[in-house]
Each structure stands twice: as C-alpha cells, then as structure tokens.
C-alpha cells in the first residue's frame, strides 16, 4: 500500500507540473512563457524584433531563475529587421516558423544543445548566407530552410537521420553540402532547384533517394549513388542539365519514372550492379540515351543489352572501358541451305532474330512439315553459319545495329519441297521441274510415279484416310499422312 501511495503522489506531481499554467513575461525586450514549477522558459512572439538579439540562457522573474530551453513556434516570424540572433546552449528546440521570413538575418549558429528544428523554422530567410547546425540535432523539419537563396554552404551533422520534405527547397545559392553519415533518407524535393551545387557526396548510410530530391539541380556535373541506396525515386535527378556522369551503386534495385529525365548532357552512366535494376522505361526520357555510353560489369553486359531502357543506350561497354561494338549493317547471304552473317567491325557482336517461312526439313522416314521458325544468332566479324536454316523459301533478318533497327529480307532459292495430302491424293510443291516422284505404301509397294511440272505434282493414292504414304523425291524419303 505504501508503494501505491508513493506512485500516486509521483503521478500527481507530474500532472501538476504538466498542467502548470504558463505566464507571459517580457525581460530586456524579449517575451517569454515561463512555467514556475518547472522553472523553464520559452521565447515567444512578442512583436517586431529587430537588430541584434541575444537570448540569455537564464532569466529571473519574481526572484525565480528560469532556464531558457526553447524558441517557440513563430517566435521571430516576419521579423525582417532582425540582423543577428545568439542562441544559448540551454536551448534544445527551435519551433515551427520560429524565424520564418527573417530576411535580414545573415548568419545563424545552432548550438550543440539543440536536438529539434521545426517545420519552416528558417524558411525564406533570404539574406542568410551561413548556417552552422549543432551536432545534436536529430530532426530538421520540413521546409526548414526553404527559399534561403543566398545560403552558400550547409553541413548536416551525423546526428540527423532524415532530410525531410523540401528542407532546402530552392536554396539556389548552395555550392557545398556535407551530409552526415547517419542520414538514411533524402526526402521529397529536399534539394529541389539547388542550382548552385556542382557536386554532392551521398554517404553510405543513405538507402532511399525519394521523388524529386535533386530535381533541377542544374549545376551538378557528376553524381555517385553509393551501394547502400536501394531506391531512386521518380524525377530524383530530373532536369540536372549539366550532369555528365552518373555512377549507380550495386545496391540499387529500382529506378523510378524520369529519374534522370532531361539530363541533356549526360554522356556516361556507370551501373555497378550485375543484376539489372528494375527501371521505368522513361527513366532517361529526353536525355538522349542513343548518345550515352553505359558502363556495366562484364558478366552482365548481355543482360543490360537485352533490357529496356538500358538497351537503348548508344554504346554499352564494360566498366574497364572495353567496348563490345555492335555490328553495322551485317551482310546476310544464303548458300547450300545455310545463312551466313558477316560484319566488317572487328570483334562486333549482335543478337539477330531470324524468321523464316515455309521451312521444310528433310529427314529420312519423317513426315515433312511447314512452319515458321525463329532463332537467335550470335554473329562476329568472322561470320556465322547457321546450318539449322535449310530449305526455306524466305527469311526476315532483324537485328539491332548501332542503336537502330536493321531489317533485311533474304530470298532463299526454292529448293524446298512441300508435301501435303487431301481427298486421298498426295500434293507436291517445289521448283525442281523435271524431278521424278515415286509414291509407295509403307510395305514398299509402288503406288505411282510422276514428275514435277511447273512446280507441282499430284498422285492419287487410293489409300484410305489415316494411311501413311512414302514420297521419294530428290533422293529423300518423306512420310505423309493421307487425308
């Protein structure tokens, strides 16, 4: 029971402190809310502050000493005449809109005691050129430094884990950013239109670069996305018109829509992953991939070549710079039942799709057939012979050469024989005019003989439907079912 009474008394004490009514006081021109029992003070809005303001670490009111621990919401909002502010080490939080549109401020030092910077805390402080953020800050609020157009450099301490939405939106004067090595996520529009940035180092702690994080950072010339990053959001680097080189780490699994769109000077993309990242087809929209070089691991080069949008890059090379050139307009010819592919580019390779119509393969004791046949062909400078293409009548050769499509139609000499059956008769089609044809039963009994005239011949077998006849022509024996 004694323990319960003590617990109740403690709870009552906490409640009383929490419910204590704040009193507004003004000391040396600065307005505060003070809580007597907690002996804590918060700077609050008290009018149009101007000039140089020094916030003390302690104030005394009615002989009670109060520790100044926070700068409240909107405390200096719209104080455009404020030229400097000194924040003591006693302050642990800076509230929402605390210095909103304080356009006269030129520099700010946030002491190591501060752990929290609220939303819009320094938004549109357009005169601000220098900010030092203490090494205890864990949260920088949304829009915290939005529109600070003259801010030239910022160091985000290691204590910060997230850079939130629009934190440095339109800070067009930024030329240097240091991101601490505890940041895991760079938020929506976090550095949008930071056009003064020429480079940025993303630490290995970052796992997500979300939508539009660096959109329209037109000064960026190169970017390296570390292996820790798993996701690059939509428009993440869209409109970075001076970007010439991008390195994408091994951990990236997904690249969003238009992530690198309108990067019109992008010439080299280094993708370190052996597994091709899932990538939206418009990831490089308006970035002219046909003029870019894609650098990938040697063992993954064919995977990238076969996967959109990577396959649309003008050149694909290995990371060490070894290029596997594509064949420029290969020569395709037909001879003795074989297609021959040749290319003058030394070491060239390409994947070719071949579609041939009316293929009739001759195999002893097998029924002939008519079909459309598709193959993939690997061609080199020394040529490639594919002996599977035999006795076709026409072939379409389609391949990707130098980033474009190449199509060729090959007329095959009509040496093929098409054998079909209808109404008990055998019908033969081929161009071997004058060639003898003999039709037998499966027992070897001769049914009839004829010759090819004008490319055709017909033999009435007299056999019942479902029977099998054997056609002998040009030294080949072909079985055919009688219909």
Alpha helices in 279-393 (DSSP H): 301-305
Shared domain for 404 and 437, answered yes or no, is no
Answer yes or no: is 313 within a domain. yes
Do 301 and 262 share a structural domain?
yes
The three-state secondary structure class of 342 is: strand
**Domain presence at residue 252:** yes
Q: What is the CATH number of the domain that holds 394?
A: 2.60.40
pLDDT, one tens digit for every residue, the chain (483 residues): 444 444 444 444 444 444 456 799 999 999 999 999 999 999 999 878 999 999 999 999 999 999 999 999 999 999 999 999 999 999 999 999 999 999 999 999 999 999 999 999 999 999 999 999 999 999 899 999 999 999 999 999 999 999 999 999 999 999 989 999 999 999 999 999 999 999 899 999 999 999 999 999 999 999 999 999 999 999 999 999 999 999 999 999 999 999 999 999 999 999 999 999 999 999 999 998 888 999 999 889 888 988 889 988 888 888 987 765 555 455 666 665 555 655 555 555 544 555 555 443 333 323 333 333 344 444 443 444 444 444 454 555 554 444 444 455 555 554 456 777 888 898 887 767 788 899 998 888 899 999 988 888 999 999 988 888 888 886 667 777 788
User: Final residue of a domain: which of 284, 306, 324?
Assistant: 324
Domain end point (choices 377, 411, 445): 411
Domain boundary among 280, 306, 324: 324
238 and 155 in one domain?
Answer: no
Asked whether the beta carbons of 385 and 338 are under 8 A apart, the reply is yes
CB 233, CB 209: distance < 8 Å: yes
Claim to verify: residue 313 and residue 339 sit in the same structural domain: no
Q: Tell me, what's the pLDDT at 111?
A: 97
Q: Are residues 110 and 222 in the same domain?
A: no
CATH number, domain containing residue 291: 3.80.10.10
One domain for residues 281 and 382: no
Domain range enclosing 349: 331-411
In a domain, 5, yes or no: no
DSSP state of 453: B
d(CA 41, CA 399): 75
Both structure tokens of 474: 């040009």
The answer on 387 and 434 residing in a single domain is no
Q: Which of 264, 260, 271 is nearest to 241 (CA)?
A: 264
307 within domain boundaries = yes
The encoded tokens of residue 62 equal: 């009615």
Distance CA(241)–CA(220), nearest Å, equals 8
Contact (Cβ atoms closer than 8 angstroms) between residue 122 and residue 96: no
Asked if residue 448 and residue 309 are part of one domain, the reply reads: no
Query: Torsion-angle region of residue 454: left (phi > 0), alpha (psi -120 to 50) or beta?
Result: left
Domain-located, residue 1: no
175/293 same-domain check: no
Residue 363 lies in a domain: yes
User: 453 and 429 in contact (C-beta within 8 Å)?
Assistant: no
- In-domain check, residue 472: yes
Domain count across the chain: 4
Q: Which two three-digit tokens encode residue 290?
A: 């046909």
Three-state secondary-structure class, residue 8: helix
Do 428 and 454 fall within a single domain? yes
* Other beta carbons less than 10 A from residue 179's beta carbon: 21
Same domain? 245 vs 340: no
> Which among 284, 347, 343 is positioned nearest to 312, based on CA atoms?
284
Nearest-angstrom CA–CA distance, 81 and 94: 20
Helices (H) and strands (E) in the chain, counts: 2, 40
Predicted pLDDT of residue 374: 41
Residue 85 in any domain: the answer is yes
Whether omega for the bond prior to residue 309 falls within 30 degrees of 0, making it cis, is yes
Same domain, 270 and 335: no
């Amino acid at each position: 029971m004694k323990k319960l009474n003590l617990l109740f008394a403690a709870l009552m004490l906490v409640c009383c402190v929490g419910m204590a009514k704040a009193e507004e006081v003004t000391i040396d021109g600065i307005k505060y809310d003070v809580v007597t029992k907690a002996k804590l003070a918060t700077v609050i809005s008290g009018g149009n502050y101007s000039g140089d303001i020094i916030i003390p670490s302690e104030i005394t009111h009615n002989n009670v000493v109060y520790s100044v621990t926070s700068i409240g919401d909107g405390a200096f909002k719209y104080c455009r005449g404020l030229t400097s502010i000194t924040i003591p080490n006693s302050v642990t939080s800076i509230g929402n809109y605390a210095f909103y549109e304080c356009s006269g401020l030129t520099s700010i030092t946030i002491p190591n005691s501060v752990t929290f910077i609220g939303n819009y805390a320094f938004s549109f402080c357009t005169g601000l050129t220098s900010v030092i953020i203490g090494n205890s800050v864990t949260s920088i609020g949304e829009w915290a430094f939005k529109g600070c157009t003259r801010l030239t450099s910022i160091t985000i301490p290691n204590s910060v884990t997230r850079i939130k939405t629009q934190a440095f939106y339109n800070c067009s004067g930024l030329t240097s950013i240091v991101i601490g090595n505890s940041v895991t996520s760079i938020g929506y529009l976090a550095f949008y239109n930071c056009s003064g940035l020429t480079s940025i180092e993303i630490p290995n702690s970052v796992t997500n670069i979300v939508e539009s994080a660096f959109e329209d950072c037109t000064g960026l010339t190169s970017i390296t996305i570390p292996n820790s990053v798993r996701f690059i959001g939509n428009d993440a680097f869209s409109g970075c018109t001076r970007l010439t080189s991008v390195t994408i780490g091994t951990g990236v699994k997904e690249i969003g829509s238009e992530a690198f769109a309108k990067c019109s000077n992008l010439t080299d993309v280094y993708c370190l992953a052996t597994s091709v990242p899932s990538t939206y087809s418009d990831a490089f929209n308006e970035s002219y991939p046909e003029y870019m070089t894609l650098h990938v691991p040697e063992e993954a080069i064919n995977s990238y070549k076969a996967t959109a949008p990577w396959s649309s890059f003008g050149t694909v090379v290995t990371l060490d710079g070894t290029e596997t050139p594509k064949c420029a307009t290969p020569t395709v010819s037909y001879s003795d039942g074989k297609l021959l592919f040749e290319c003058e580019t030394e070491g060239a390779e390409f994947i070719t799709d071949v579609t041939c119509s009316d293929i009739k393969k001759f195999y002893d004791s097998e029924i002939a057939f008519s079909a459309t046949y598709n193959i993939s062909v690997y061609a080199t400078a020394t040529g490639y012979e594919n002996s599977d293409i035999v006795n076709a009548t026409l072939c379409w050769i389609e391949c990707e050469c130098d980033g474009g499509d190449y199509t060729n139609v090959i007329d095959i000499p009509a040496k093929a024989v098409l054998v079909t059956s209808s109404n008990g008769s055998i019908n033969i089609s081929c161009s071997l005019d004058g060639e003898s044809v003999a039709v037998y039963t499966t027992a070897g009994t001769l049914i009839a003989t004829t010759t090819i005239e004008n490319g055709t011949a017909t033999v009435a077998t007299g056999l019942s439907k479902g029977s099998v006849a054997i056609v002998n022509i040009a030294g080949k024996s072909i079985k055919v079912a009688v219909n």
